Each structure stands twice: as C-alpha cells, then as structure tokens.
Amino acid sequence: MEKASGKTSNNNNARLAIMELANMISVPMSLNAVVKLKVADAIWEVGSNTPLSPAEILAKIRGPQGGGDSENLQRILRMLMSYGVFEEHVVDDVSQRRYSLAEVGKSLVTDVDSLSHGSYVLQHHQDALMRAWTMVHEAVNDSSTEPFVKANGEPAYNYYGKNPEMNSIMLNAMSGVSVPFMKAILEGYDGFQGVKTLVDVGGSGGDCLKMILEKHSSIQLGINFDLPEVVEKAPQIPRVKHIGGDMFNSIPKGDAIFMKWVLTTWTDDECKQIMKSCYNALPEKGKFIACEPVLPHHTDDSKRTRALLEGDIFVMTIYRAKGKHRTEEEYRQLGRSAGFADCRGFYIDHFFTTLEFQKL
C-alpha cells in the first residue's frame, strides 16, 4: 500500500478528529446508560471485578425477569472501553468479549454511603439540562440569559426546587464529588490548624463542615451558613451551629471562612461582593479558604485542562452565562479588590484548587 504523504495524513487525521467530535455525544450518553443500568455495580460485586460477558452482566442487572439485548450492551461497553471506563478481555474467539472495570469505571461503583460519581453523570444528562445544551450558542448571542433559562423558562436552581427527584439527583451528585475531594484536602492541606471558629458559606446540610471538624478537634465551633430554607432542613451536628442568611449582605464572623464550589457560578462583580462579605467577617490575620475549579494559564490538551474547560461551559450553559471557572491570577485580582492582600493556591486535588486569601 502506498504511504500517504504528510499533507494527506494530516488531512485524514483532521477528518477523523472532526468525525469524533461530531459523534462525541455518544460518549456521555453511553456513560449515562451504563449508570442507569448499574453496570459498574454488577461487575464490581463487592470488589471482585471479575470479567463478565455482556450476557452475564445483563443477567445480573435484570435478574429473574431476564430479557434485554446483550449485543447492544457490548457495543456500549466496547466504545466506553476505548475511553478507559472498562477493560476488555478477549480469549480466543473475538465474539466472546468480557469486561471488567478500569480505574475510571470504579468511580461509578456505589460505596457504603450510597455515593459514587454515577450521580454526577446522571445529573448532567437530565431532560431539562439536555434541552439547554442545544442552545449553547445563545450564550454568545445574548449573555443576559442562560441557555437553561431559555430552554426551561426559569433558572436551574428554581427548576430543581420544583422537581424533588431532579433535586435529589443533584444533591447526590454534589456529595459524590465532594466527599473524595474533602478527603484529599483534609489529607494534604493544613490551613485549618489553629482555627477556633470556622464558617462554611454555602454549606448546605453541613456535611463538609462535619468532615473538617472530625479531622480537626481543635476547632471549637463550626458555623454552617446558607439560605434560611436550606439550613432549616440541616441535621444536628456536634459543634456545629446552623445560621441562615444572605452572603451578599453579611456573613457570620469567624477565624476562617470556608467555601467550596460557590464562586464559580457568580459573575465577577458578584464574586467581589461575596469576597467583601468574607473580608468584613474576618479578624486581622484571618483567612478565607475557597475551593474552586481553577483554570491553568496556558491551554493544553491534558485531561485536567479539558475537564476544567468542559466544566466551564457547563456553568455557562446551565447556571450563569457570566459565571465561570477562573485562573488563579483572576481569583487573586478579585481578592485584592475585596481587600485581601494576596492569594495562595494549593493544588492538592486534580479538579479543585484550594485558594487561601489572607486578611492582614
């Protein structure tokens, strides 16, 4: 066979790349399918991760009722194997393919607390969100209204509030992502040492605050601060006081203020207001600890950069057209505008960065 010239090869690669991008929707939707089918739990089975054929997986999923199409399941598994979700085992006959979980697939296994990244997948592919994705271009045409609002008639959080099942999936998704991150930050970040009163802004039910207090017994009081309608449903937690309010007006005082995945969904001006409230609530030498997805200064094609940039488009489409992921320098400038002297970034987790702002 005649070898293609460099120009022809580049052209072929470009055509393949655009074909892959155009068909990319098959990846998240297939991932959504295996989560709905509970494929990861079926394969994992208490840690065995034994390679199974699609027919065997289907039998575990469907149980006594039987049925289903194992060939179509294999097509999904094989495609996701190419993205590192599953491992494929072929013995002699290529028609006898078996599948186990790769490291990515293991993140979909439900743990003892009924959490996994599976809920995060489901959250991203609910009908209301899918309607918004067809209108991403509208964020360019008119950034005053989010694509989600244009598709569904109201902001995402309002919509969630009226749909209990959707809201439950969203909360489970946040927990499934937050718990592994919190374990990482508690293992690798020592900024909570010496803190006596810690305020968690946007702390919801207080889960993150509880984890911090369990790790740092020296913290005498944790204040879980969120909207009144949120904290009124929060459970009682030792050494935690639930306070309702509006972070744009004022924040309870503490030695340190903690915030996770909050600033991302607000505009620059709104972030300045929030950070000013934090500044006013802190004493001299107090610190504001914000955990956010932080973009690299230079764009590359690494998995981390892609995940952060993809998340940025998600924010733009679903939550706020001018809310966004930011670089460390952009956060530093926002902090300075609120009065903070400087900002240090701790890159402990692959997705979230811990930003520490000091009040001098």
Summarised one tens digit per residue, pLDDT across range 135-192 is 999 999 999 999 999 999 999 989 988 988 888 888 888 888 888 899 999 999 999 9
Rounded-to-integer distance, Cα 293 and Cα 330, Å: 12
Architecture of domain 6-106: Orthogonal Bundle (1.10)
Give the pLDDT confidence score for residue 4 in this predicted structure: 59
Query: Are the C-beta atoms of 189 and 353 separated by less than 8 Å?
Result: no
Rounded-to-integer distance, Cα 228 and Cα 206, Å: 13
Identify the DSSP state of 154: S
Token pair 């004022």 is found at 250
Residues 157, 158, 161, CA angle at the centre, nearest 5°? 85
Residues 143, 144, 149, CA angle at the centre, nearest 5°? 95
Give the pLDDT confidence score for residue 179 in this predicted structure: 85
- Angle, helices 328-338 vs 268-281, to 10°: value is 60
Q: Where are the alpha helices (DSSP H) in 189-302?
A: 207-215, 228-231, 268-281
Rounded-to-integer distance, Cα 73 and Cα 71, Å: 5
pTM reported for the whole predicted model: 0.89
- Choose among 29, 48, 178: nearest CA to 115: 178
Domain spanning 178-358: which superfamily?
Vaccinia Virus protein VP39 (3.40.50.150)
Give the pLDDT confidence score for residue 1 in this predicted structure: 47
Burial class (CB within 10 angstroms; exposed 0-12, middle 13-18, buried 19+) of 209: buried
Buried b / exposed e along 95-121 (16+ C-beta atoms within 10 A): eebbbbbbeebbbbbeeeeebbbbbbb
Residues 97, 99, 103, CA angle at the centre, nearest 5°? 150
Tokens, residue 95: 């028609």
- pLDDT tens for the chain, 360 residues long, are 455 566 777 888 999 999 999 999 999 999 999 999 999 999 998 788 999 999 999 999 998 888 999 999 999 999 999 999 999 999 777 668 999 999 999 999 998 888 899 999 999 999 999 999 999 999 999 999 999 999 999 999 899 889 888 888 888 888 888 888 999 999 999 999 999 999 999 998 888 999 999 999 999 999 999 989 888 888 899 999 999 999 999 999 999 999 999 999 999 999 999 999 999 999 999 999 999 999 999 999 999 999 999 999 999 999 999 999 999 999 999 999 999 998 999 999 989 999 999 998
Query: Are the C-beta atoms of 81 and 87 separated by less than 8 Å?
Result: yes
What mean pLDDT, rounded, does the chain reach? 93
Q: What DSSP assignment string belongs to 96-125?
A: -EEEEE-HHHHTTS--TTS--THHHHHHHT
The domain ranges of the chain are 6-106, 112-177, 178-358
Tokens, residue 172: 């489970």
Domain 6-106 shares a fold with domain 178-358 = no
| pLDDT tens track for 4-25 | 566 777 888 999 999 999 999 9
Query: Are the C-beta atoms of 315 and 264 separated by less than 8 Å?
Result: yes
Rounded-to-integer distance, Cα 332 and Cα 308, Å: 18
Burial class (CB within 10 angstroms; exposed 0-12, middle 13-18, buried 19+) of 213: buried
Query: Are the C-beta atoms of 256 and 192 separated by less than 8 Å?
Result: yes
Tokens, residue 305: 């950069």
End-to-end CA distance of the chain: 71
Query: Are the C-beta atoms of 188 and 181 separated by less than 8 Å?
Result: no
Give the pLDDT confidence score for residue 350 in this predicted structure: 87
